Amino acid sequence: MTLYIGREASKLWKRICAETTTEINLLLDNWKYVLAGLIFQYIHGLAARGVHYLHRPGPTLQDLGFILLPELGQDKAYISEMVFTFVFLSFVLWTFHPFIFKSKKIYTVLVWCRVLAFLVASQILRIITFYSTQLPGPNYHCREGSKLARLPKPDNVLEVLLINFPRGVIYGCGDLIFSSHMIFTLVFVLTYQKYGTRRCIKQFAWLVAIIQSLLIVASRKHYTVDVVVAWYTVNLVVFFIDKKLPELPDRTSGSSPLLLPLSTKDKDSKTKEENHKLLNGNSVDPADWRPRTQVNGKILEDANGIHVDTAMNGA
């Protein structure tokens, strides 16, 4: 038993080392995209902090979700946060599963490049919406009479830039018309929907996303329109951006990690380089100069193909 555990531990360690080397190489090639995505998360938090200074509390707007769903109450508002934390941590752990498990389909760095692109595009739209129109927040700390509903003018720029993390993020007001929690939840679910391998987990993830939507409204953290807008906007953003990005390599086929997909620009430059070599009289590949024979409109690599084709036609 001890021998078996030691052997498996040795295999696991080798797997982690090999995967770490691969991911570091990918990170060296894509660190600009990862860093830009992480920096924008701070910009998004800064924008949400800034709109809090513009927030003016008022009567809660009439909302169909508030009428249909029972109010959880201020003491149970943590339930939606617990569900979101579960979704966030589960997705992060899944993206790092190639370091542990032998069967793998994704590269961690490439998946996070994709996820950050989806998040940034959705958050840009969110910032535009809540700065275009400020609505009175339905959350308990955003209502009239709460000390947190209005922020006093900042004494200095540093007070704004620090965004009072994490209290300033948790008790924000005014960043409505687009639910931030639903942006993250839907991006994670859609990503697993495409690159995940377990059908039951995919179905469970969509169920959790629906429950999360209902909890956000029941907790009075957002209006129903904030959740609805997030559902169709995030899906559209992911759909269009995913079509523009190069497809991720599929690791289930056992291909080499270095054989990453070329973008359209790389393919065009490679084709131009090959044409340039041909015009200068240089061969691109000696194998391309092998004699080819055309039989029945088909170009064959060698004479052996003629016998095969003839035999097939005779049959």
Q: What is the largest CA-CA distance in the chain?
A: 92
Catalytic hit among 52, 141, 181, 302: 181
Does residue 166 have a cis peptide bond before it, meaning omega lies within 30 degrees of 0? Answer: yes
CA pair distance 111, 92, nearest whole angstrom: 11
CA pair distance 208, 87, nearest whole angstrom: 8
- Indicate if 52 belongs to the active site: no
Partners of 272 in beta bridges: none
CA pair distance 229, 95, nearest whole angstrom: 27
CA-based nearest residue to 306, from 288, 294, 291: 294
Count Cβ neighbours within 10 Å for each residue of 189-226 and write b for 16 or more, e otherwise. Answer: bbbbeebbeeeeeeeebeebbeebbebbbbbbbbbbbb
C-beta of residue 160 within 8 angstroms of C-beta of residue 50: yes
- Indicate if 276 belongs to the active site: no
CA-based nearest residue to 58, from 5, 119, 137, 131: 137
Secondary structure of residue 144 in the 3-state scheme: coil
DSSP 220: T
CA pair distance 80, 271, nearest whole angstrom: 52
> For the chain, what is the radius of gyration of the CA atoms?
27
Catalytic hit among 44, 52, 55, 222: 222
The two structure tokens encoding residue 186: 């839907």
CA pair distance 210, 77, nearest whole angstrom: 17
Quick one: which H or E segment has residue 214?
helix 199-218
Catalytic hit among 44, 55, 175, 226: 226
Catalytic residues: 181, 222, 226
